[in-house]
Chains A and B, each alone.
Chain A
Amino acid sequence: MVEITQLDSMPKASVRAADGTAAAAALGLDFGSSEQRDDTLVVRIRPDEWYLLGDGAPAMAAGLDLSGFASTVDTSHSRTAVRITGDRAADTLAKLGSADFSDHMTPNGASMGIGIAGVTCDIVRDDQHGVRSYLLLLDGSFVTYFLGVLHDAASEF
């Protein structure tokens, strides 16, 4: 079984920070990984970009030292989050994208950017209570199409 949920109200912030800046040091993490810090999921989605996801994201972004080449943008309303949870969640995504969703390549906490059904998505594996789960972030204008495609792909499961 696969459960698909659109998370409209999730606060989201993007942080761009160059190597050596205070913001990059504070957020840390390796490229392609994530970490839950209190009520904020911190994701290093690109070599110089982090996502802050969750209720604590605005406060965490506001508290960063943005000296040097560093900036934050509130993406709560431009990016939509969709969560897909279930034992067959990876099989569903594998039908629509070319990433390797096996535990070996993308364990819990891994993040990546790929195209899913032709839509550029940032994906974070964020298991919920031991059940495989992925958080997908995409441009909000694609979400109607995207949910339809996801439901079609998941229907066999």
Chain B
Amino acid sequence: MLLVPCPHCGPMNAGDLTYNGESHRRPDPKTCTPEEWRTYLYLRENPSGWLLENWYCSSGCRKHFKIERHTFTGELRAPVLPGRKPGATQGDMK
């Protein structure tokens, strides 16, 4: 069982949350090029290492948050609510 530390609820079974994929910034659709938009829509980094991801606490507090997950070891750290920098208000909760 993967325990995901929600910033509000604490460690939660990953089955009680919804995984929303890699976190990446949306380019401005008014100014970006078609290539930038295509990259935003379809291309992901998929690293073997730390990756910033979006999760949704669907059973608990019903808040979206970001968290860093190591894609090789499965470690999780620094959950953060939207609009805040990772580690700014939350310690390492792995």
Residues in B with CB closer than 8 Å to A112 are 9, 60
Does B61 reach chain A (CB closer than 8 Å)?
yes
Does A83 reach chain B (CB closer than 8 Å)?
no
B82 → chain A, closest Cβ, in Å? 13
Interface flags, B1-22, vs A, CB<8A=1, else 0? 1000000110011011000000
Contacting pair B61 A114 (CB below 8 A): no
Contacting pair A120 B58 (CB below 8 A): yes
Residues in A with CB closer than 8 Å to B15 are 98, 115
Does B64 reach chain A (CB closer than 8 Å)?
no
Residues in A with CB closer than 8 Å to B71 are none
> How many residues of B sit at the interface, in one of the four size bands?
10 to 19
Contacting pair B8 A31 (CB below 8 A): yes
Contacting pair A113 B8 (CB below 8 A): no
A98-B13, A98-B15, A98-B16 known; A114-B1 Cβ under 8 A: no
A59 → chain B, closest Cβ, in Å? 27
Interface flags, A47-89, vs B, CB<8A=1, else 0? 1010000000000000000000000000000000000000000
Interface flags, A14-49, vs B, CB<8A=1, else 0? 000000000000000001100000000000001101
A121 to B59, CA, bound (A): 7
Residues in B with CB closer than 8 Å to A47 are 8, 61, 63
Residues in A with CB closer than 8 Å to B84 are none
A112 to B6, CA, bound (A): 13
A49 → chain B, closest Cβ, in Å? 8
Contacting pair A113 B61 (CB below 8 A): yes
A31-B8, A98-B15 known; A46-B62 Cβ under 8 A: yes
A114 to B62, CA, bound (A): 11
25 pairs across A/B with beta carbons < 8 Å? A31-B8, A32-B9, A46-B8, A46-B62, A47-B63, A98-B1, A98-B15, A98-B16, A112-B9, A112-B60, A113-B9, A113-B59, A113-B60, A113-B62, A114-B12, A114-B13, A114-B16, A114-B59, A114-B60, A115-B13, A115-B16, A115-B59, A120-B58, A120-B59, A121-B59
20 further A-B contacts with Cβ under 8 Å, apart from A49-B62, A98-B12, are: A31-B8, A31-B61, A32-B9, A46-B8, A46-B61, A46-B62, A47-B61, A47-B63, A98-B1, A98-B13, A98-B16, A113-B59, A113-B61, A113-B62, A114-B16, A114-B59, A115-B13, A115-B15, A120-B58, A120-B59
